[in-house]
Structure 1
Amino acid sequence: MSMTSTLDTLGKAARHNMLIVATCRKCDRQARFLARDLASLYGHGRDPRNLPFVCSNCEMRDCKVTIMGNPYDRTPETVVWKPVKVKL
């Protein structure tokens, strides 16, 4: 059993300093978020695979969500998006 199968909530992923990666199934655009940022917005008990991601490129709502470890020790820089609530 892999570690990611036990990380079923944003709170658990945040405790391990994980990234949540949303990949559009239509255009393959990726966005990376810190699990702790998403947990503060959506709640620590929320399943990251059920978050309402929308592709900023093609506006599709069909995104594959994966949980990954922090790649900072292998890559010089990683772009991480910061989620915010916006009132319209």
Structure 2
Amino acid sequence: MTRVIDTLGKAIRHNMLVVATCRDCQRQGRFLAKDLATFYGQGRDPHSLKFRCTHCDTRNSKITLMGNPYDRTPETIVWRPVKVKL
């Protein structure tokens, strides 16, 4: 039986990546679900997260979840969220 992964906590249990793809320029950013849960909480829906594209400066992004591809591609770039104090 399959289950829908609808929270960051469930994505953490499966060691998943949250992939944010810009709908305008198709650039991708990959984040560990564990890192995003430290900022937003484990009960947050990953599809409700807002990401800004650094290339075209828009917030129009598509969020997908994917398994961790460590066994297939050793050079996956994973971004880490950081709070910046201005």
Q: Could you list the per-position Cα deviations for residues 31-78 of structure 1 after superposition, in whole angstroms to 9, with x for gaps in the alignment?
A: 000000000111000011111100011011010000000011111210
Report the TM-score when normalising by structure 1.
0.92
What SS does the corresponding residue of 1:73 show, helix, strand or coil?
coil
Say yes or no: does 1:48 pair with 2:31.
Answer: no
Please state if 1:30 is matched with 2:28.
yes
Structure 2 equivalent of residue 73 of structure 1: 71
Q: Which amino acid aligns with 1:68?
A: M
Q: Which runs of 5+ in 2 are unaligned?
A: none
Superposition RMSD in Å: 1.3
Structure 1 residue 29 displacement after superposition: 0.4
Distance change (3 Å), C-alpha of 1:62 and 1:75: same
* CA deviation after TM superposition for structure 1 residue 87, in Å: 2.3
Cα distance in 1 for residues equivalent to 2:58 and 2:11:
25
Assess, with a 3 A threshold, how the Cα gap between structure 1 residues 62 and 43 changes in structure 2: closer, same or farther: same
- Report the identity percentage: 69
- Residue 12 (structure 1) aligned with residue 10 (structure 2): yes
Shift of residue 2, structure 1, vs aligned partner: 5.5
Q: Which has the higher helix share?
A: 1
